[in-house]
């Protein structure tokens, strides 16, 4: 979704050619040109755009906003049709009371740069709202194979959660400038995780299946990138911590 709405990792590419054509159309209307084949059209449009350089930027912004609106609508419809994505799952790490009236879900990858930027403000948000349930959805999308480092880190964090050491490991992985297996193992060890038990948990078929199921469900509803947040079942159109807090307060009523 990495402001970073959905596209911090995996956002949709913008078609500059289509945007340029749209800008030419705007310029044509502004100039009162009846037909695009009219002699002198190119030079007149170029002169108009040179004199009004903000036109192309405005067209690009409008198209991007329309793409975002369509994306959020598709996600909303996808979640409504596939409620299991946000259904309570005891396998997911979470902070806050199980019977909380407001639940926030975060989908993230430990290698996502904007996820790392948001990590500390998000934890501060959690501390300010102890009566809200915050669910961590381990969504390793930045590598393909199941044994890539994003997957390894996700399974390691789940192993830490099984031993009651999730948040220290989560914070350490988010704070790391880059990740490799040694860095992940070090985060586990420094958090006091039993490494033998953690490795067994990480390699268990049930753990791998959990990650695979989450990835499949996220793809089904149309999630595009990390981080993506849901506040009380509604996808957030921004990842700004202040805006997320406003949505949480509003959800509390």
Taking the alpha carbons at both ends of the chain, their separation in whole angstroms is 27
H or E, element range at 94: strand 94-95
CA pair distance 220, 214, nearest whole angstrom: 10
Q: Is the pLDDT of residue 184 over 50?
A: yes
Tell me: pLDDT of 10 over 60: no
pLDDT at position 25 over 60: no
**pLDDT the model gives residue 147:** 85
> Which residues, including other chains, have CB under 8 Å from residue 211's CB and lie 6 or more apart?
138, 140, 146, 151, 154, 155, 158
Break the chain into its structural domains and give their ranges: 16-83, 94-252
Percentage helix, strand, coil for the chain under 3-state DSSP, each rounded to 5: 60, 10, 35
Q: What pLDDT sits at residue 196? A: 98
pTM: 0.75
pLDDT tens track for 117-147: 999 999 999 999 999 999 999 999 998 778 8
Mean pLDDT to the nearest integer, 13-17: 40
Q: Considering the domain 94-252, what is its CATH architecture? A: 3-Layer(aba) Sandwich (3.40)
């Amino acid at each position: 979704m990495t402001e970073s709405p959905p596209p911090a990792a995996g956002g949709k590419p913008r078609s500059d050619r289509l945007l340029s054509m749209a800008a030419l159309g705007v310029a044509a209307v502004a100039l009162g040109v009846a037909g695009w084949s009219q002699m002198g059209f190119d030079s007149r449009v170029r002169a108009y755009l040179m004199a009004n350089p903000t036109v192309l930027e405005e067209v690009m912004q409008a198209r991007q906003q329309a793409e975002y609106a369509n994306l959020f609508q598709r996600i909303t419809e996808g979640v409504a049709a596939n409620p299991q994505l946000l259904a309570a799952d005891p396998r997911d790490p979470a902070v806050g009371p199980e019977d909380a009236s407001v639940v926030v879900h975060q989908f993230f990858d430990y290698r996502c740069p904007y996820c790392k930027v948001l990590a500390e403000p998000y934890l501060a948000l959690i501390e300010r709202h102890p009566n809200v349930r915050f669910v961590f959805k381990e969504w390793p999308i930045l590598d393909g194979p199941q044994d890539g480092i994003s997957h390894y880190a996700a399974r390691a964090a789940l192993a830490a959660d099984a031993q009651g050491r999730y948040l220290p490991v989560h914070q350490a992985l988010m704070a790391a400038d880059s990740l490799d297996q040694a860095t992940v193992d070090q985060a586990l060890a420094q958090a006091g995780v039993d490494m033998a038990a953690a490795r067994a948990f990480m390699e268990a078929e049930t753990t791998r299946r959990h990650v695979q199921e989450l990835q499949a469900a996220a793809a089904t509803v149309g999630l595009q990138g990390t981080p993506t947040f849901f506040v009380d079942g509604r996808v957030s159109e921004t990842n700004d911590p202040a805006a997320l807090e406003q949505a949480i307060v509003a959800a509390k009523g």
